[in-house]
Amino acid sequence: MKQRKKQVKRGPAPQYTRKEPKGPRIIASAYTASAVRADQYPEGDTVEIAFLGRSNVGKSSLINSLCNHRGLALVSGQPGKTRTINFFSITSKEDISDTEELRYHWFLVDLPGYGFAKTDKGNRDIWSSFIADYILHSDRLMLLCLLIDGRHPELPIDQEAFKWLTESGVPLQIVVTKVDKLKSSERQRNMRRIKELFPTKTAPIAYSSLNHTGRELLLQRINTVIVGEEE
Ligand SMILES: Nc1nc2c(ncn2[C@@H]2O[C@H](COP(=O)(O)OP(=O)(O)O)[C@@H](O)[C@H]2O)c(=O)[nH]1
Ligand SMILES: [Mg+2]
How many angstroms separate the CA atoms of 190 and 176, rounded?
9
Closest residue by Cα to atom 9, ligand 1, is 58
* CB-based contact 53:116 (threshold 8 Å): no
Q: How far is the CA of 110 from the centre of ligand 1 (A)?
A: 15
Torsion angles phi and psi, residue 210, rounded to 5: -75, -45
Instruction: Report residue 122's pLDDT band, with 50, 70 and 90 as the boundaries.
Output: very low
CA distances from 42 to 59, 69, 156, 184 (A): 22, 22, 33, 42
Torsion angles phi and psi, residue 133, rounded to 5: -55, -45
How much helix, strand and coil, in percent to the nearest 5, is found in the chain?
30, 25, 45
How many angstroms separate the CA atoms of 207 and 177, rounded?
5
Specify the pLDDT at position 229.
Answer: 75
Is the full-model pTM beyond 0.85? Answer: yes
Q: Which residues surround ligand 2, an ion (CB under 5 A)?
A: 60
The string of pLDDT tens digits covering residues 124-148 is 566 778 889 999 999 899 999 999 9
Residue 149 has pLDDT above 80, yes or no: yes
| Ligand 1 pocket check for 59: Cβ under 6 Å | yes
How many angstroms separate the CA atoms of 2 and 95, rounded?
55
The string of pLDDT tens digits covering residues 165-178 is 999 999 999 999 99
52: closest CA among 119, 151, 132, 124? 132
Residue 22 has pLDDT above 80, yes or no: no
Torsion angles phi and psi, residue 106, rounded to 5: -150, 165
150: closest CA among 189, 115, 113? 189
The string of pLDDT tens digits covering residues 60-118 is 999 999 999 888 887 765 555 557 899 999 999 999 888 999 999 999 999 988 886 55
| Ligand 1 pocket check for 181: Cβ under 6 Å | yes
Q: For a pocket test of ligand 1, which of 51, 52, 56, 74 has the largest count of ligand atoms closer than 8 A to its C-beta?
A: 56
Q: How far is the CA of 177 from the centre of ligand 1 (A)?
A: 8
| Domains parsed from the chain with CATH numbers | 25-227 (3.40.50.300)
Residue 11 has pLDDT above 60, yes or no: no
Q: How far is the CA of 198 from the centre of ligand 2 (A)?
A: 22
Specify the pLDDT at position 170.
Answer: 96
| Ligand 1 pocket check for 173: Cβ under 6 Å | no
Which neighbouring-strand residues pair with 50?
Answer: 109, 144
How many angstroms separate the CA atoms of 32 and 25, rounded?
20
Specify the pLDDT at position 129.
Answer: 84
Specify the pLDDT at position 15.
Answer: 52
Burial class (CB in 10 A: 0-12, 13-18, 19+), 215: buried
Residue 36 has pLDDT above 70, yes or no: yes
Instruction: Report residue 13's pLDDT band, with 50, 70 and 90 as the boundaries.
Output: low
Instruction: Report residue 35's pLDDT band, with 50, 70 and 90 as the boundaries.
Output: very high
pLDDT over 90 percentage in the chain: 68
